[in-house]
Structure 1
């Protein structure tokens, strides 16, 4: 079989994107079970036979949906957690920003993902659940790295990871705002990351004078909490 040309590959991706757009509307209105392949084909100007050049069926569309969000997010965050060329604080900002931007680019599609979870075939459902766990673990790892390097406040790691993921995911329910000019997904994501991490990352600055004492004490408490975190990671002596 001849390899696809750049043109044919581009055509395939374009039609697949149109099918996902059609699925956003039809699945949301009628449900996955209530939508036929013929309706999906009609929505993008394909025949019932022609649609099989792009997908194998509705399960294939659901898999594309899961890959575009859950699986790719897990892969991206896992790679960020393993990097050593940037500070953990910078990587944490990138993690939140990239998640929020992915959702902001296709908010309806993300909402469809959430409402279609019960329709996933078992194999796909397992992949979806595993990727969500990996996303949480990767986010938690980056937070712990930030705590170790001293750029993160002594926050509860699990609570913070859930909160940051929640901030990114919630974009799907309010962006873009109806009747108002909206910033681009990239701008929204960057602003949300700044807001979300404002209460997580440590500034480590204390003003001079008598009023600096409470701030200095707060920094000391952060350092003690960081020391506790580092000691907890040390191997325990044999009893």
Structure 2
């Protein structure tokens, strides 16, 4: 009797594990096909063939290509936007430290999930409206986080008097090609890439050593005037 009861309990558990494994395999194969052929160029039948299921059987696990793509967008962009926002809000850290940590985080995301990032970039024009809205909002959230940290860095004199939004786009530009040229197992070490690109981002923003950054354009004008006055004084002494 005990064996029978145990079997009754164990059977649904095993079925749940099998279903989870199959859903994972479907997701991985769909991601690969979307990356290779684009979202529009991949059919539901292509996904069924890749996992060894019939098309009707595939419907037991997923409703549509759109559902698979929505899960992909959520897994890549929502997680990234949330993690970046958490770092950006750590005001106990300097703006320099937060930019460094954010860039490291973004580079690692792209390095570890390169195929998924490439898929999203290649399929932007084909994203269904429901998925495109979420994708765009998460990208805006990342841009906002970066812009806010850069604004704070300028205000505190850590960064040069840059235009924060433009500088944020520039920082994203440092990161966004990683998914295309880095591949796990290549000659490049991901930890080293994270560190190097983070330092490049910080260096592109940092105020010149020995000279505080100006918080506003007017401060920059005053700084230039002081330099001119100093030079005039030196010329008079010469």
TM-score normalised by length of structure 2? 0.73
Gaps spanning 5+ residues in structure 2: where? Answer: 1-8, 221-238
**By how many angstroms is 1:154 displaced?**
1.9
Residue in 1 aligned with 2:200?
Answer: 195
Q: Which of the pair is proportionally richer in helix? A: 2
- Residues 20 and 192 from structure 1, CA distance in 2 versus in 1: closer, same or farther, beyond 3 angstroms? farther
Confirm whether residue 181 of structure 1 aligns to residue 187 of structure 2.
Answer: yes
Counterpart position of 2:166: 159
| Cα 1:85–1:227 shift into 2, 3 Å | farther
2:142 match: secondary structure: helix
Q: By how many angstroms is 1:86 displaced?
A: 1.9
Instruction: Give the deviation of 1:177 after TM superposition.
Output: 9.0
Q: How many aligned positions are there?
A: 210
Q: Give RMSD over aligned pairs.
A: 3.2
State which structure, 1 or 2, has the greater radius of gyration over its C-alpha atoms: 2
Pairs within 5 Å for 1:143-158: 143-158=150-165
Choose 146-155 or 119-128, whichever is displaced more. 146-155
Give the Å deviation of 1:53: 5.0
Q: What is the CA–CA distance in structure 1 between the aligned matches of 2:54 and 2:142, rounded to whole Å?
A: 39
- What is the alpha-carbon distance in structure 1 between the residues aligned to residue 105 and residue 187 of structure 2? 22
CA contact (8 A) 2:84 2:142 kept: yes
Q: Give the drift of 1:31.
A: 3.4
Which residue of structure 1 aligns with residue 179 of structure 2?
Answer: 172
Which residue number in structure 2 is paired with residue 37 of structure 1?
Answer: 44
User: How do 1:110-149 and structure 2 match up within 5 A?
Assistant: 110-149=117-156
1:100 aligns with: 107
Tell me if the contact between 1:74 and 1:135 (Cα under 8 Å) persists in the aligned partners: yes
